[in-house]
């Protein structure tokens, strides 16, 4: 898998996705749910550069995508050059393709997050996994990937998690879950997320989660990811803009440590994103995108608050790429 990561000069000013015009034969078709601005989708398609490395184009194409947020859909369409159905997923079921090879999606996590209400099975948003199950039922993919916060595997979510996995089983899938630490996969962030990988029963072998290619000693630090932006002035065109919110209690006063990966970039920080490790300001949106492993030419087509949500809600593209490589290997 690592052979497809080609090392380039570590110049963040020259990195970016190169998707247009690249054709890969024998591609598998993906249905993408809760797509957001397209972090997981970019990772599965590949063909981008980040942090001095090239992440090769993979044999997957997006056949259909959906998200509720108009702002996220605008960003998705602009960068992935692919139509996305905007609106409630339940109302979009009639536009689904009849078949898909892979279904991916990170259904909303607020109801199980330790930073949220922890409503679990009683929450309105996390139970959207049922919409994902309906899509799987209709399209019968070989593999599905469901992403969520690690809270979904904690005690307060046990009933929800058991109901969800039983539902996948009833549809004819074997599911295996793993908590991924993004820093272990080349993302400069201590982000932990659960990925549930389901494979259709009767497949010739079980799915193997990708081994972490980065040891703790090789984690990418905040300084390594962001140092070249320290002298840059604010710029709307590149989303290098930041909140002026003053320090506040709890999460509103956190500051990055230069020689460590970032703490988790959140979606609903309401301007209280982490402070820079060195400068007397909060992180810019471009810096947050860097810490999420988005290429520098990935453009966010919205104001600072919507951009904040899109970045924080996203699956880091580099992490998704490693998972996609494991899926590619599994499918042969």
Catalytic site positions: 109
Q: CB neighbours of 132 closer than 8 A, spacing ≥ 6?
A: 33, 34, 103, 105, 107, 144, 146
Q: Are 148 and 107 in contact (CB under 8 A)?
A: yes
Phi and psi at residue 262, to the nearest 5°: -65, 155
Q: CB neighbours of 310 closer than 8 A, spacing ≥ 6?
A: 36, 37, 69, 71, 72, 75, 300, 302
Task: Please give the helix or strand (H or E) that residue 134 lies within, else none.
Answer: helix 129-139
Cα(129)–Cα(93) distance, integer angstroms: 14
Count the Cβ atoms, other than its own, within 10 Å of residue 4: 15
């Amino acid at each position: 898998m690592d052979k497809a990561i080609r090392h380039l000069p570590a110049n963040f000013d020259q990195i970016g996705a190169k998707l247009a015009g690249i054709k890969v034969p024998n591609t598998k078709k993906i249905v993408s749910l809760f797509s957001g601005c397209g972090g997981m989708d970019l990772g599965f398609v590949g063909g981008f550069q980040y942090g001095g490395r090239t992440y090769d184009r993979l044999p997957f194409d997006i056949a259909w995508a959906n998200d509720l947020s108009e702002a996220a859909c605008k960003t998705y369409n602009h960068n992935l050059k692919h139509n996305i159905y905007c609106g409630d997923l339940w109302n979009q079921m009639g536009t689904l393709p009849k078949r898909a090879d892979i279904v991916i999606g990170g259904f909303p996590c607020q109801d199980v997050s330790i930073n949220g209400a922890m409503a679990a099975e009683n929450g309105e948003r996390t139970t959207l996994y049922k919409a994902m199950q309906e899509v799987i039922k209709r399209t019968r993919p070989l593999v599905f990937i469901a992403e969520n916060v690690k809270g979904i595997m904690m005690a307060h979510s046990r009933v929800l998690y058991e109901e969800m996995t039983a539902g996948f089983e009833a549809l004819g899938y074997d599911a295996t879950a793993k908590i991924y630490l993004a820093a272990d996969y080349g993302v400069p962030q201590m982000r932990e997320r659960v990925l549930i990988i389901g494979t259709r029963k009767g497949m010739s072998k079980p799915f193997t989660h990708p081994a972490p290619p980065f040891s703790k000693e090789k984690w990418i630090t905040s300084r390594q990811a962001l140092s070249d932006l320290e002298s840059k002035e604010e710029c709307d065109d590149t989303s290098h803009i930041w909140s002026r919110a003053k320090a506040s209690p709890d999460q509103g006063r956190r500051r990055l440590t230069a020689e460590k990966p970032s703490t988790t970039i959140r979606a609903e920080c309401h301007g209280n994103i982490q402070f820079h490790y060195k400068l007397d300001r909060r992180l810019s949106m471009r810096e947050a995108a860097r810490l999420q492993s988005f290429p520098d030419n990935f453009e966010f087509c919205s104001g600072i608050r919507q951009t904040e949500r899109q970045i924080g809600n996203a699956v880091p593209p580099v992490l998704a790429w490693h998972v996609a490589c494991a899926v590619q290997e599994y499918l042969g």
